[in-house]
């Protein structure tokens, strides 16, 4: 059966019994044996995340099979401390945490917009984990104002209940390998989904996916760790070419409903239809999802451990693909702060962010990437912030003018190329270029938040790639899925 409630309290005696059974170690410190607790299937718990006007409600939707288990059988507990949310799968008999993962969501982003204070909205979300052999409790936690986790919802699931559907869904599309390096349980599995490609354009999707995946694996640390990945493609033919672009008056009904203008931000592409996305993706082994959109307008998006998107035909498709995958794969924050965004900014106090590449620098002696900072590097680390901001703001204003004029995408790409060349030269010539420090201006905030290096693919379109801190964060996620 499936039972839902908002809080659970376990007895001290039960917790003591677990501690004794584990030889004095507390629950969660010992990695469970996969075969003892799980079957070779994926359980998907779908729920609706609703809220607004200061309220937050979570309601169970369904519990279904999502295909064979493709994840690690040894790295079951997530100790990376990433994501706005964390879910835990707890054994009902022993109160032992069997599986956990951090993630972010569209709802979590929507909470930071002005609209969340004016209306109520609902978003569909999913939790995926190995199919338990016995009843479990699924606990969902969120971060508070200080970024500490606390429980907001829990449900008890009996895998043998009549309310749990163990039947796999028939595949909605054709799965094909871009490259395969080993069993899914021992690799990071990335699934590329084609959106807005007609049946006649499926060869174009294959070419686009191959081109952009190749670009990703030319960047470090992905290049050195390519052997730890499998990459799959999923063909989902659309009736029409392209996806919805509301500001252009273009509307489509595509298989997973990816669209521009998320949160009324013209370049932000996601799908709100998590149900359709998960049903389609269940055809393939995956931990990470990239939606490749058959459009030339600049755009993309990325949410940690949920989805990433990129427009395939913009002149900066490779950059967008890699940048947005950084969000999705490793929880990397945007390091820029001069571009237009939908989120509210300007908070008087910034808690230490959970993202690995941004700090509030409350304690300069203990920066989270402090081991990479040379002793003679000042903190905060000075840079010519005023000159950079003036040029960046001018470029943003020119971009808005071109959009208002209806300029073609080629003209927009020319503007972005000019901006990239100027910023690359400008930042590369500054005193502390190439050093790890704490440079003020990050995560949409001009003050109070700091990034690790003066430039990075998470800051500008500069071809320098990922900085050292971002690269290390990416490798820790790779290790979570592809290391014994």
Tokens 């994926």, residue located: 42
pLDDT, mean of residues 325-349: 83
Which residues, at least 6 apart from 67, have a Cβ–Cβ distance to it below 8 Å?
41, 42, 168, 169, 282, 283, 284, 285
Tokens 């058959």, residue located: 294
Instruction: Say if residues 42 and 128 touch (Cβ distance below 8 Å).
Output: yes
Give the per-residue pLDDT at 340: 62
Tokens 């470090």, residue located: 220
With residue 409 as reference, give the H or E element that holds it. helix 409-428
Share of the chain above pLDDT 70, in %: 92
Which residues, at least 6 apart from 104, have a Cβ–Cβ distance to it below 8 Å?
83, 84, 85, 303, 304, 305, 306, 331
| pLDDT, tens digit, 9 for 90 and up, residues 379-419 | 999 999 999 999 888 888 888 888 888 888 888 888 888 98
Instruction: Return the closest-CA partner of residue 373 out of 438, 454, 447.
Output: 438
Instruction: Return the closest-CA partner of residue 170 out of 40, 64, 257.
Output: 64
Instruction: Return the closest-CA partner of residue 170 out of 65, 44, 320.
Output: 65
Give the per-residue pLDDT at 392: 87
Give the per-residue pLDDT at 399: 83
pLDDT, mean of residues 439-447: 95
With residue 222 as reference, give the H or E element that holds it. none
Reply yes or no on whether the pLDDT at 13 is more than 60: no
Query: What is the overall mean pLDDT for the chain?
Result: 92
For residue 442, what pLDDT band results from cuts at 50, 70 and 90?
very high
Q: So where are the chain's domains?
A: 2-165, 174-330, 364-462
Asked if the 2-165 domain carries CATH number 3.40.190.10, the reply is no
The dihedral built from the CA positions of residue 174, 38, 79 and 154, taken in this order, carries a sign that is: positive
For residue 345, what pLDDT band results from cuts at 50, 70 and 90?
low
pTM: 0.91
Strands 307-311 and 288-293: parallel
Strands 300-303 and 288-293: unpaired
Give the per-residue pLDDT at 19: 39
CATH of 174-330, one of 3.40.30.10, 3.40.390.10, 3.30.230.10, 3.20.20.370: 3.40.390.10
* Range from 27-36, 44-53, 170-179, 218-227 carrying the lowest mean pLDDT: 27-36
Tokens 């203990």, residue located: 366
Instruction: Return the closest-CA partner of residue 134 out of 152, 160, 154.
Output: 160
User: Which of helix, strand or coil describes residue 117?
Assistant: helix
pLDDT, mean of residues 167-181: 97
| pLDDT, tens digit, 9 for 90 and up, residues 88-138 | 999 999 999 999 999 999 999 999 999 999 999 999 999 999 999 999 999
b/e per residue 104-123 (b: at least 16 CB within 10 A): bbbbbbbbebeebeeeebeb
Query: Exposed (0-12), middle (13-18) or buried (19+): which is 328, by Cβ within 10 Å?
Result: buried
* Range from 159-173, 282-296, 454-468 carrying the lowest mean pLDDT: 454-468
Question: What DSSP line would sit under 17-85, residue for residue?
Answer: HHHHHTTTPPTTSSPPPHHHHEEEEEEEEEEEEEEETTEEEEEEEEEEE-SS--S-SS--S--S--SSE
Give the per-residue pLDDT at 21: 37
| pLDDT, tens digit, 9 for 90 and up, residues 211-241 | 999 999 999 999 999 999 999 999 999 999 9
pLDDT, mean of residues 455-471: 93
pLDDT, mean of residues 271-299: 97
For residue 342, what pLDDT band results from cuts at 50, 70 and 90?
low
Which H, E and C letters describe 191-216, residue by residue? EEEEECCCHHHHHHHHHHHHHHHHHH
Reply yes or no on whether the pLDDT at 477 is more than 80: yes
| pLDDT, tens digit, 9 for 90 and up, residues 187-209 | 999 999 999 999 999 999 999 99
* Range from 71-85, 165-179, 237-251, 393-407 carrying the lowest mean pLDDT: 393-407
Give the per-residue pLDDT at 31: 66
Degrees, nearest 5: CA angle 245-251-257: 80
pLDDT, mean of residues 60-84: 97
């Amino acid at each position: 059966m499936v039972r839902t409630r908002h809080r659970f309290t376990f007895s001290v005696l039960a917790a003591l019994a677990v501690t004794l059974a584990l030889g004095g170690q507390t629950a969660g410190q010992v990695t469970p044996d996969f075969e003892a607790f799980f079957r070779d299937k994926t359980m998907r718990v779908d729920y609706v995340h609703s809220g607004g006007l200061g309220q937050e409600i979570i309601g169970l939707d369904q519990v279904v099979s999502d295909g064979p288990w493709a994840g690690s059988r040894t790295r079951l507990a997530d100790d990376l401390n990433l994501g706005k949310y964390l879910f835990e799968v707890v054994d009902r008999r022993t109160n032992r945490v069997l599986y956990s993962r951090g993630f972010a969501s569209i709802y979590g982003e929507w909470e930071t917009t002005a609209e969340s204070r004016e209306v109520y909205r609902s978003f569909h979300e999913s939790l995926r984990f190995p199919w338990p052999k016995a009843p479990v409790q699924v606990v969902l936690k969120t971060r508070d104002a200080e970024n500490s986790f606390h429980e907001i919802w829990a449900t008890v699931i009996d895998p043998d209940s009549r309310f749990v559907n163990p039947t796999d869904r028939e595949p909605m599309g054709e799965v094909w390998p871009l490259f395969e390096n080993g069993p899914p349980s021992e690799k990071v599995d990335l699934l590329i989904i084609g959106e807005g490609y007609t049946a006649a354009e499926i060869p174009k999707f294959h070419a686009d996916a191959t081109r952009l995946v190749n670009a990703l694996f030319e960047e470090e640390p992905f290049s050195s760790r390519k052997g730890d990945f499998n990459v799959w493609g999923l063909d989902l033919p659309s009736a029409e070419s392209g996806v919805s672009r509301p500001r252009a008056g273009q509307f489509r009904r595509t298989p997973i409903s990816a669209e521009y203008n998320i949160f009324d931000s013209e370049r932000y592409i996601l799908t709100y239809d998590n149900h359709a996305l998960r049903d389609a993706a269940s055809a393939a082994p995956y931990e990470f999802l990239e939606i490749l959109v058959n459009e030339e307008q600049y755009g993309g998006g990325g949410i940690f451990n949920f989805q990433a998107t990129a427009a395939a035909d913009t002149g900066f498709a490779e950059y967008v693909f890699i940048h947005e995958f950084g969000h999705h794969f490793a929880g990397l924050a945007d390091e820029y702060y001069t571009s237009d965004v939908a989120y509210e900014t300007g908070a008087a106090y910034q808690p230490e962010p959970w993202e690995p590449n941004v700090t509030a620098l409350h304690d300069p002696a203990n920066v989270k990437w402090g081991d990479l900072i040379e002793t003679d590097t000042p903190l905060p680390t000075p840079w010519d912030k005023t000159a950079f901001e003036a040029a960046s703001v001018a470029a943003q204003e020119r971009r808005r003018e071109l959009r208002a004029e209806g300029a073609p995408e080629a003209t927009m790409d020319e503007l972005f190329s000019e901006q990239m060349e100027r910023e690359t030269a400008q930042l590369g010539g500054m005193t502390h270029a190439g050093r790890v420090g704490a440079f003020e201006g990050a995560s949409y905030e001009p003050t109070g938040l700091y990034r690790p290096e003066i430039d990075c693919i998470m800051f500008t379109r500069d071809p320098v790639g990922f900085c050292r801190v971002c690269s290390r964060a990416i490798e820790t996620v790779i290790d979570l899925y592809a290391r014994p």
